[in-house]
Structure 1
C-alpha cells in the first residue's frame, strides 16, 4: 500500500523517514475546531479523524492515509498552537515548573474504507523557567506551529524537560511505535520493506 501523509509538520515527515517508510505528502486545509464537550485524548483523536475525512474522496484503493493531531493538556485545559507571542508566553508560563500531558491522535484510513483511530499519551515534567528563558525560546525557535508553544526537540525541550513518562516521539508529534504496529496490522508494511 502507498502511504499518504496529510501533514505539514516537518517533525512528522522526519519521523516517518527515520522509520524507513516511503510516503507522499498531500495537504488540504482542515478546520481544527473541536466540540467543547470532548476531553483530552478525545480531542486529539477527533481532530485526526476530522482531517482524514477531508481526504476520503481522493484516496485510491491501494493507498493508506495518515493524519495526526497533537495537543498539550494542563489539567482539563487544551493548549493548541499559539496564535501570537503573547499566547506563547502565556502557555509557557503556565507549563513551566509543572507536569502536563501530550496527546497525539492518529487516524489511518485505507482506500478501501478501513479506518483505525488511536491516541498516545506522554506526561512531560518541566523545570521552572525564567521570563528571560521563555522569551529567548520564543525569539529563537518561533514556536507558533507547535501545540503548547514548544517542541521537545528544540532548545526548550533540551533545557527544560526534566523527565518524560511515555514516548518522546509522541511529544514530537507522532507515536511511532503505535503507528508502526497499526500499519503492520493493516498490511501496509509489506510493500514498504
Structure 2
C-alpha cells in the first residue's frame, strides 16, 4: 500500500520563515558570541538607560525571530497515511498511531479563540483512539468542508477499514465544532 503525505501549506512559507528566523535570531546571536561576547552585551544592555537602540533592536529581533519560528512550526507539519497506520510529524514531535488503535475517524470544525478574539474556523480530521484520546491530524486543514477534505477523509477511512475489517457504518459523517478546548456538536451538516 502506497504512503500518502498531507501537508498544510506551501513549502515556500516554511523556507521564508526559516530564513527570517536565521536572520533575526541566529546571526545576531552569532555576532554577539563571536564579536563582543555575552558579558559585554549584557553590560551594554543593562548600562543603557531608557530609549536605547540596543534594547529596542533586541526586542524587535526576538519578536520577529519567534514569530518566524512559530510560522515555520506550522508549515512543517505532515500527516503520513500508510499500511501500518498514521504517522504525524511536527518539528518538535513525531507520533505513530496503528490502525487498530483508532476507534473512529471524523471531521471537526475548529473555532480558535485567543484572549477573547476569534480566529478563522478550520476543518480538520480527528481520530478517536481506543484510549479515549482525540487526535487532530495536522494536515489536511481547510477553511471550508470541501471535496478535497471529503476525499482525504474518505481515503483515510477506507484504509482504516481495510486494515481492521471495521464495518461500513462506522466513521463520523457529520462535522462537529470545537471551540477552545470544549467540544460541541454542530447542528448543521457540512456541505457535501
TMscore range, shorter length: under 0.3
TM normalised by structure 1 equals 0.25
TM normalised by structure 2 equals 0.25
The structure with the largest alpha-carbon Rg is 2
Name the structure, 1 or 2, with higher relative contact order (CA <8 Å, separation 6+).
1
